[in-house]
Chains A and B, each alone.
Chain A
């Protein structure tokens, strides 16, 4: 565990406990078994999605169907979690989100996440600004560069599972991240097996409507000055050599036409790659998902306002963007392969998002915290906990494929989302 990484407002301790102790944390402490009475009240829900309850029926024709097929009573362990996530096969409906160029994603955490995501066979995103900020091919082989992350992933990923999706946003286009990568021999094993994707980043949950923002030191600042807007904050003297600068990138301008044609161009230019799109939780999210889907995107990620590993103005963290649950409700009819991210870390929230129409959920902060807790096993343990919970919750509503979860399986209390 590093001294650096903190996630206030996020169930950090719970995630760390899972990363440390694994599946036994899915249940109350074993030493309390037989001596403690449980069930008196759930924690206060963090948002509308958490406030939903999974509501099993008493009569379960789906379970009967499974019983007939198996020739025995089905168990939760019979639930199939295998999922096609935007063209990539994953053993669980989970992918690892991009961590961006923020400082917390460096220091080896992203590299550890790459290795563990690969071992699990989960699709993994590599974040925007990785190339222009950290350098495309890092001669010193420092963890955190694009190619290094992909190599680490390739070293461990099982055949036929997972995939790597590389983001590019408006400012990244200057560094031609996708063009560089598409010709790089390192990614050929991914291309050859259909496991490379590119994600057009329209925005992120933490800063809807704003571009990327990170703090950089003055040395990096002078290198980045041509590409990004850099500013000091009030109260910092201009000659303070140790002070940090705010590096802001443009959010990029989108209209329905611009989004549609950018996606078409991606499909045209990179026919061997999957095409993903990441949206911030805008009020017209349903229209944007429809445009992306019609233009041929293989997956559309909606990053709820609870999402984002990044550094953002507090006004945005607290007051801007639709919550994930509201986005999913607005998207209930979409035929798109919808992916959801935002405050994901355990099975119940994942099950609810899937029941509301998401194909899979993304782990961002939770993945970083898990690998911070245990660089070798943390993410593996966290995902195994989530998978176990998903199996139990899915079987509880009488279903044996996680993708069959539906809004009927949820009960919405009378609280605002």
Chain B
């Protein structure tokens, strides 16, 4: 069993990645990447079967997800215009629903995270998301798809690739447990109360902090959803509850055993005036979102969706100490790497 948050100096979560050649030659890296390969095959199968179209997203654009938690964007000189590398595909995901009702893709995202998150063992500057968006769907439907998708991928590994788990020394019991049981749902205020009971000073108006997620995650045997994050803690596109406007109709999916968040999702704002107002609440200048706002103004479908962090998912299923072990060429916050 892992002892997250209690690392020794030799722990890879603290030591960081070795040179690329050594990392790629490491049998554990190879097993983890092979596992990831099978996870993606299973994920694509599941979504394709469910009627989703794999629609590949752009890498650069005039704006990208303004992001949260202090990560900065990468500027690209695009013929003299300042463009951005995608921090997430959210704007294009919503826009893509004007072509197909159900889309997914596996997209690279880049977020220059504050160096302080280097120690979370969970953050990568460059990472991939298995992104999913469903038109005319609510949060519950998106959560249902996310749960089904994760179960399908885990089941596939257990059924066909358990040798990889053995090679990685992964205890398979927690994985076997989840495939047949519903994932618990924990509204944010309940999570905050639970943390306060454990003397963790979680701000009730903010995102669950990284150490707090680990704390919660250690207490669960199954993946679990945290829902209803407070307005002001997430991106402008997470839809606010009309009945209770300070609550967002969103969710995170957290892996158990101390691994923490592997996915974020939400019902989306899609009505023009609301989107513009919410953009202002995040301090953004709507002018730079012109292409997106034009599309929203002329009408995009209501939707819900989510993104699963591919490396985080792999790390959890493989039982790795750190997320960087689940990628071939890891880039950690604040660490310059190829």
Contact (Cβ within 8 A) B281 A185: no
Is B338's beta carbon under 8 Å from chain A? no
Q: Is the CB of B68 within 8 A of A268?
A: yes
Bound complex: CA of A272 vs CA of B203, how far in Å?
13
Q: Mark A237-279, 1 if CB is under 8 A from B, else 0.
A: 0000000000000101110011011111111111110000000
Residue in B69, B231, B288, B334 whose beta carbon sits within 8 Å of that of A269 in the complex: B69
Using A183-B115, A183-B334 as known contacts, say yes or no to A271 and B209 having CB atoms under 8 A apart.
yes
The answer to whether residues A183 and B231 also contact, given A258-B281, A264-B205, A265-B282 and a CB cut-off of 8 A, is no
Could you say which residues of chain B place their CB within 8 Å of the CB of A261? 231-232, 281-282
Interface contact A182-B70, CB-CB below 8 Å: yes
Which chain B residues have a beta carbon within 8 Å of chain A's beta carbons?
66-73, 81-82, 112-116, 203, 205-207, 209, 230-233, 245, 277, 280-285, 287-288, 333-334
A interface residues (Cβ-Cβ under 8 A, vs B): 168, 170-171, 173-174, 176, 178-180, 182-183, 185, 188, 191, 200, 226, 250, 252-254, 257-258, 260-272, 295-296
Of all chain A residues, the one with the shortest Cβ separation from B82 is A226
Given A173-B285, A174-B288, A183-B72, residue A267 in contact with residue B203 (CB < 8 A): yes
Query: Is the pair B284, A173 in contact by a Cβ cutoff of 8 Å?
Result: yes
Cβ A269 vs Cβ B70 within 8 A: yes
Extra contacts besides A179-B70, A265-B233 (5): CB < 8 Å: A183-B72, A226-B81, A226-B82, A264-B205, A264-B232
Complex: A254 Cα to B283 Cα, angstroms: 10
User: Which B-chain residue is minimally distant from A249 (CB atoms)?
Assistant: B285
- Output the least CB separation between A212 and chain B (Å): 13
Tell me, in angstroms, the Cα distance from A260 to B112 when the chains sit together: 26
Of the residues A173, A178, A250, A263, contact of B70 by C-beta under 8 Å: A178
Query: Chain A binding site: helix, strand, loop or mixed by DSSP?
Result: helix
Q: Which residue of B lies closest to A188 (CB)?
A: B115
Q: Is the CB of B334 within 8 A of A265?
A: no
Contact yes or no, A183 B114, CB < 8 A: yes
Contact B277 A182 (CB under 8 A): no
User: Across the interface, do A179 and B72 meet the contact criterion of CB distance under 8 Å?
Assistant: yes
Instruction: Please give the distance in Å from A184's CB to the nearest CB on chain B.
Output: 9
B285 touches A170 (CB 8 A): yes
A262 B69 Cβ-Cβ under 8 A? no
- If the complex has contacts A182-B114, A185-B115, A260-B232, are A269 and B72 also in contact, measured as CB distance less than 8 A? no
Contact of A257 among B112, B114, B281, B284 (CB under 8 A): B281
Across the interface, which residues of A come within 8 angstroms of B209, CB to CB?
271
Complex Cα distance A295/B231, Å?
Answer: 12
CB atoms of A268 and B233 under 8 A apart: yes
- Residue of chain A at shortest CB distance from B245: A257
Residues of A within 8 A of B245 (CB): 257
A260 to B70, CA, bound (A): 18
- Chain A residues contacting B68 (CB-CB under 8 Å) are 265, 268-269
Closest to B287 in A: A250
Q: Which residue of chain B has its CB nearest to the CB of A261?
A: B281
With A and B bound together, what is the CA distance between A168 and B280 in angstroms? 14
Can you sample 9 A-B contacts with CB below 8 Å? Answer: A176-B73, A179-B72, A182-B70, A258-B277, A265-B282, A268-B68, A268-B203, A268-B205, A269-B70
Tell me the nearest residue of chain B to A250, going by C-beta: B285
For the complex, give the distance between the alpha carbons of A267 and B203 in Å. 9
**Partner among B67, B70, B284 whose Cβ is within 8 Å of the Cβ of A270:** B70
A66 to B82, CA, bound (A): 62
Contact B232 A268 (CB under 8 A): yes
